[in-house]
Amino acid sequence: MNTKPTALTAYFERTAAIQNKLAHLQQLADDHFHHDPDAVHWGHVGDLGRVEDELDGLLAIFETGV
């Protein structure tokens, strides 16, 4: 019996994992990433800038077809 996953099976498993992580990220965003809005400082802004840059990089993978 062949227990080696097919590319399609692995693709859907990874797609599900990504969707779960995106849902978790959305939950964190909805909660202001556990930051007290009254205590936000420029370090938080910098952290979000790095996250935004990384997300742009991830989107570029699929938007350019690479």
Domain interval for residue 40 = 36-66
Domain count along the chain = 2
Amino acid at 32: H
Q: Say whether both 63 and 45 belong to one domain.
A: yes
Residues with Cβ within 8 Å of 34's Cβ and at least 6 positions away in sequence, in order, are 28
Look at residue 5 and give its three-state secondary structure: coil
Amino acid at 62: F
Q: Say whether both 2 and 22 belong to one domain.
A: yes
Q: Say whether both 4 and 25 belong to one domain.
A: yes
Per-residue pLDDT tens digits of the chain, which is 66 residues long: 668 889 999 999 999 999 999 999 999 999 999 999 999 999 999 999 999 999 999 999 988 755
Q: Say whether both 42 and 56 belong to one domain.
A: yes
CA distance linking residue 42 with residue 16, whole number of Å:
34
Q: Say whether both 26 and 3 belong to one domain.
A: yes
Give this prediction's pTM.
0.79
